[in-house]
Structure formats: structure tokens, C-alpha cells
């Protein structure tokens, strides 16, 4: 039995109830066959056995009192996955679907993503099954404070640095950071995505979306094309979708869809004006589960209840919402409509069937761990600014972000080519991320 198959057997036996974790790790392991067959050093040092096991998982109770005076309890997680190349780094997600499987898959993906950025950040992820929709600001604050009452002891600027993710934006980061600061009595910038007056980086909110568009631009360049004049389907209407709309418009492309749990919007005029960008932010506050709100303000747009945007004819598709939001059937529709480029801005946004269809049909497909790395890269830049007690301008941050995304793109392309899989960004990203983390693990001994 091959080394990879042995490891696949181990994870399936140990964690059968963790479908998202199995999906993410099977994809990575499958990409690594050629690497571990060629070089036995990985097996000798038990790298795969170690890399599939998180260094530490913290699971804890989050009790809080709602506005009616009733005690509520949520379950919190922090998965400190791998610190071979730097402190654990990764966001905190508030979403009802958060469980150990989703936390582990996200922290696993984050480990390779962070390696690809070229910055010294290990991989981690946290979250809880808290749904902020319908909660008052006071409830959200009390919840964030209770979460920190436990989590603070596991964090630190050189240990573990969280950030936002789905359901966690500047407001929630503010509440968590405030409580952390009070408990530890120091102001080391232990979160990223902080407010601009207290150590945050300009462009951090835009960064994931900007980065995904920069990545798409590099993919198009390889086909001697550009973003200019292209139509784009985006899903979600949160931070990542918002940043993608802004940067796509700046480069002359037109985002024509956004979506929510209730369906999707088709706006033939494009989500391309400042008024529309600003309205996306407002919509999150009105009801983060309803994208339909959009058509009340922009009446040329049409709402498709219960449907996904992938049925529209577009040049570029960018899933920006949540894992497994684009399946084999959706991929078939995009392929039939001659989509040129698919860029995962959400983590594991596409199912394995969808990815296989794109790869088989030679449709350029960028996995999230490469294409959405702009967010965590800008977090890395925020950490640098905090350490230096400096604040860079938007232009300075943008230049660095652009350079990082171009570099990740080049690394994926070159690595795929080196191993005989030219044009396969999944294999390129997985091998390049793995080799960096594995090298550090080998050099640091069996720990
Ligand atoms: N949650 C984001 C991600 O999935 C950002 C993490 C961070 O900035 O630490 O990469």
C-alpha cells in the first residue's frame, strides 16, 4: 500500500464523522502522491502522519445572557493546527454550521494557504455555532466577551493570532480584542482586522476580494486576456463579495450576480458603482440572510429565489460564500456557458465533483488556499505594521498585496509544471504549500 493510501486509511478510520475535514485532506493528499513517491524523506520523518493531526484542539463552553435575561450556551473551538512556520494564524467564524469537522478542515486549509503567502504564519481556525442574525449589539458584545474569557489564555502575538471570518467583522473583532486586552493587560495586536484607530490595516476588509480578482487577472494573462470587459458571477454579499465587486469594476469587469441563503440577484447593469458597493454593507446590517433586499433599491435587478448564480452566462465565476456552495451540476452549467476562469474566494467553495469537471474540461480553476490568500496576507502585513508601530497607506498595502498574489500565482503555475501537471492550480498550490511546511517540520525535529 502506498504511503498516501496508508494515511487515507488512518484519517477515514479515525475521523469518519468529519466529512468536511476528510474532503479537504483527501484533496491535498491526492495531490501529494507524486511528491512523496519521489522523495522518501517525508515517510521517513512521518510528515503526513503528523501534518494531518492538529497540534492542539481547544473546545469550550460559551455561556452568555440574552436580552430577555435567559442563559444561552454555545460551543467554541480553536484548532491550533500547525505552527511549523509561524504562530497559529486564522480567522474566527460565527455560523450555526460550525462544528469540529468544519473547524479542522478550515485550519488544515489555512496551514497551506498561509505557507503560500510567503509570510511566517502557521495555521489555525476558530469559531462557534453562534448565529448573530436577530441578535442585538449588546448580545453580540456579551457573547464575544464570554468567548474571550476562555480563549484569551491560548492566544498571543507570537502564539496564536485570530481574525475575522464568516459572521465576524470589525465589530466582533473589536469586542473580542477589547476583552482580550482587558484580561491580559497589554495591547499587543493579537487580532488582525482591527479598527483603523487601534492598529488595524487599511485595506484589510477589501483584501480577500481584491486578492481574488488579482489572482483571476493573472490567470487570464496566461491566456493572453485581461479582466477588462469580462462578466463575473459572484456568490454571497459579505466582505469578500464586496471587495471582489470593487476591484473587478476598477479593472473594467462587471459583476452581475450576488447571492444569499434566500437566492441570488442578477443585476444586468453590474454591481459597479460606489452606491451599490456601499449598499452591500448596509444590507448586511438589515438582514445578513436576505439578498432580496437589493432589488427594492435597484429595480433593474432581478431576484431568483432559492437559486444559485452559477446558471448565468459569465466569463468568470467567483464563489465567495461558504464551503461546497458550487457542486457538479453548477459546474456543468458554467462549463456549458463557456466560463473561462473559476476562482474560489470561499474556503473549499467547490465540491470535488465540480473541481474534477473543471480540470477535465481544461477550465482554469484556482483553489481557495491560493486565490483567497489575500485576506490572511494582509493580516500578515497588519502584524508587521503592529510590530514596527507603523501604519502604511492604502497604496503601500495594495502594492504589497498585489505582489503577494502574483507571487502565489507564479508559485502554483511553476510547481504544477515542475511535477508534470501544467495548468493544474490545485496540485500546484497543494504541493508548494506542503513542501514549505514539511521542510520546516523536518528541520525542527519530531515534536
Ligand atoms: N478568515 C480568513 C481566511 O479564511 C482570514 C484569516 C486571517 O486573516 O487570519 O483566510
Q: What is the mean pLDDT of residues 416-421?
A: 98
Is residue 410 in a domain?
no
Same domain, 178 and 213: no
Residue 123, strand partner residues: 82, 89
Same domain, 184 and 212: no
Q: What is the mean pLDDT of the chain?
A: 97
Ligand 1 pocket test: pick from 95, 105, 165 the residue with the most ligand atoms within 8 Å of its Cβ: 165
Q: Quick check: 189 pLDDT over 90?
A: no
**CATH code at 216?**
3.40.50.720
Which residues have a catalytic role annotated? 125
Per-residue pLDDT, 403: 98
pLDDT in tens, 402-415: 999 999 999 999 99
pLDDT in tens, 47-75: 999 999 999 999 999 999 999 999 999 99
User: For residue 158, what is its C-alpha cell?
Assistant: 507570537
What is the whole-number distance in angstroms between the Cα of residue 31 and the centre of ligand 1?
23
Angstrom distances, CA of residue 274 to CA of 129, 201, 249 = 33, 21, 10
Same domain, 67 and 163: yes
Is residue 444 in a domain?
no
pLDDT in tens, 426-442: 999 999 999 999 999 99
Per-residue pLDDT, 415: 98
Same domain, 112 and 223: no
Is residue 139 in a domain?
yes
What is the whole-number distance in angstroms between the Cα of residue 300 and the centre of ligand 1?
34
Identify which of 211, 363, 237, 243 has the alpha carbon closest to the alpha carbon of residue 303.
237
Q: What is the mean pLDDT of residues 317-337?
A: 98
Q: Quick check: 169 pLDDT over 90?
A: yes
Given 127, 154, 188, the domain boundary residue is: 188
Residue 325 phi, psi dihedral angles, 5° rounding:
-90, -5
Per-residue pLDDT, 113: 98
Is residue 9 in a domain?
no
The total of structural domains in the chain comes to 2
Is residue 415 in a domain?
no
Residues with C-beta less than 6 Å from any ligand 1 atom:
89-91, 163, 165, 192, 347, 375-376, 379
Sorted by sequence, the CB contacts under 8 Å of residue 380 that are 6+ apart come out as 89, 114, 117, 119, 120, 121
Same domain, 212 and 141: no
Check: CB of residue 94 under 8 Å from CB of residue 172.
Answer: yes
Per-residue pLDDT, 288: 87
Same domain, 161 and 295: no
What is the whole-number distance in angstroms between the Cα of residue 382 and the centre of ligand 1?
12
Per-residue pLDDT, 235: 98
Same domain, 251 and 365: yes
Per-residue pLDDT, 278: 97
C-alpha span between 201 and 385 (Å, rounded): 8
Domain residues for the domain of 145 are 54-188
pTM beyond cutoff 0.85: yes
Is residue 307 in a domain?
yes
Same domain, 250 and 304: yes
Per-residue pLDDT, 109: 98
Given 371, 389, 415, the domain boundary residue is: 371
Q: What is the mean pLDDT of residues 383-402?
A: 96
pLDDT in tens, 225-248: 999 999 999 999 999 999 999 999
Nearest CA to ligand 1 atom 9: 90
User: For residue 41, what is its C-alpha cell?
Assistant: 524523506
What is the whole-number distance in angstroms between the Cα of residue 322 and the centre of ligand 1?
13
- Taking the CA of residue 92 as reference, the ligand 1 atom at the shortest distance is 1
Per-residue pLDDT, 285: 86
Same domain, 249 and 359: yes
Same domain, 245 and 338: yes
For residue 34, the SS3 value is helix
Nearest CA to ligand 1 atom 8: 376
Q: Quick check: 133 pLDDT over 90?
A: no
**CATH code at 154?**
3.40.50.10860
pLDDT in tens, 11-41: 999 999 999 999 999 999 999 999 999 999 9
Same domain, 174 and 322: no
Q: What is the mean pLDDT of residues 160-181?
A: 97
Is residue 6 in a domain?
no
Is residue 32 in a domain?
no
Same domain, 283 and 215: yes
Residue 305, strand partner residues: 263
Per-residue pLDDT, 358: 98
- Taking the CA of residue 106 as reference, the ligand 1 atom at the shortest distance is 4
Check: CB of residue 232 under 8 Å from CB of residue 217.
Answer: no
What is the whole-number distance in angstroms between the Cα of residue 211 and the centre of ligand 1?
12
Q: What is the mean pLDDT of residues 76-90?
A: 98
Given 355, 371, 387, the domain boundary residue is: 371
Nearest CA to ligand 1 atom 5: 376
Amino acid at each position: 500500500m502506498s504511503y498516501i493510501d496508508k494515511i487515507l486509511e488512518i484519517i477515514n478510520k479515525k475521523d469518519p464523522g468529519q466529512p468536511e475535514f476528510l474532503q479537504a485532506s483527501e484533496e491535498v493528499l491526492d495531490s501529494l502522491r507524486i511528491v512523496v513517491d519521489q522523495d522518501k524523506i517525508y515517510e521517513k520523518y512521518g510528515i503526513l502522519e503528523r501534518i494531518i493531526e492538529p497540534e492542539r484542539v481547544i473546545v469550550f463552553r460559551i455561556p452568555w445572557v440574552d436580552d430577555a435575561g435567559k442563559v444561552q450556551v454555545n460551543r467554541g473551538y480553536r484548532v491550533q493546527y500547525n505552527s511549523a512556520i509561524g504562530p497559529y494564524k486564522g480567522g474566527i467564524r460565527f455560523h450555526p454550521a460550525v462544528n469540529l469537522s468544519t473547524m479542522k478542515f478550515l485550519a488544515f486549509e489555512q496551514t497551506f494557504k498561509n505557507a503560500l503567502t510567503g509570510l511566517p504564519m502557521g495555521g489555525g481556525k476558530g469559531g462557534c455555532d453562534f448565529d448573530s442574525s436577530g441578535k442585538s449589539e449588546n448580545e453580540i458584545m456579551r457573547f464575544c466577551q464570554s468567548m474571550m474569557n476562555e480563549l484569551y489564555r491560548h492566544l498571543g502575538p507570537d502564539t496564536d493570532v485570530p481574525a475575522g471570518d464568516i459572521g465576524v467583522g470589525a465589530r466582533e473583532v473589536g469586542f473580542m480584542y477589547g476583552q482580550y486586552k482587558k484580561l491580559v493587560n497589554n495591547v499587543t495586536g493579537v487580532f488582525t482586522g482591527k479598527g483603523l484607530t487601534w492598529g488595524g490595516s487599511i485595506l484589510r476588509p477589501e483584501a480577500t476580494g481584491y486578492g481574488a480578482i488579482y489572482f483571476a487577472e493573472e490567470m487570464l494573462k496566461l491566456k493572453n486576456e485581461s479582466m477588462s470587459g469580462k462578466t463575473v458571477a459572484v456568490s454571497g454579499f459579505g466582505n469578500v463579495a464586496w471587495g471582489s465587486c470593487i476591484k473587478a469594476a476598477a479593472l473594467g469587469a462587471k459583476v452581475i450576480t450576488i447571492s444569499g441563503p434566500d437566492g441570488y440577484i442578477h443585476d444586468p447593469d453590474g454591481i459597479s458603482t460606489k452606491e451599490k458597493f456601499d449598499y452591500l454593507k448596509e444590507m448586511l446590517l438589515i438582514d445578513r440572510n436576505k439578498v432580496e433586499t437589493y432589488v427594492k433599491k435597484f429595480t433593474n435587478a432581478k431576484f431568483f429565489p432559492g437559486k444559485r448564480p452559477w446558471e448565468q452566462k459569465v466569463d468568470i465565476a467567483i464563489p465567495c460564500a461558504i464551503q461546497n456552495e458550487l457542486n457538479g451540476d453548477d459546474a456543468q452549467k458554467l462549463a456549458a456557458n463557456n466560463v473561462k476562469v473559476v476562482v474560489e474566494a470561499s474556503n473549499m467553495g467547490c465540491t470535488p465533483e465540480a473541481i474534477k469537471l473543471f480540470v477535465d474540461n481544461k477550465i482554469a480553476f484556482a483553489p481557495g488556499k491560493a486565490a483567497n490568500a489575500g485576506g490572511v496576507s494582509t493580516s500578515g502585513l497588519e502584524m508587521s505594521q503592529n510590530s514596527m508601530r507603523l501604519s502604511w497607506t492604502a497604496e503601500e498595502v495594495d502594492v504589497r498585496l498585489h505582489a503577494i498574489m502574483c507571487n502565489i500565482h507564479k508559485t502554483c503555475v511553476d510547481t504544477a509544471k515542475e511535477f508534470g501537471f501544467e495548468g493544474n492550480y490545485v496540485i500546484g498550490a497543494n504541493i508548494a504549500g506542503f513542501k514549505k511546511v514539511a521542510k520546516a517540520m523536518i528541520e525542527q525535529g519530531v515534536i
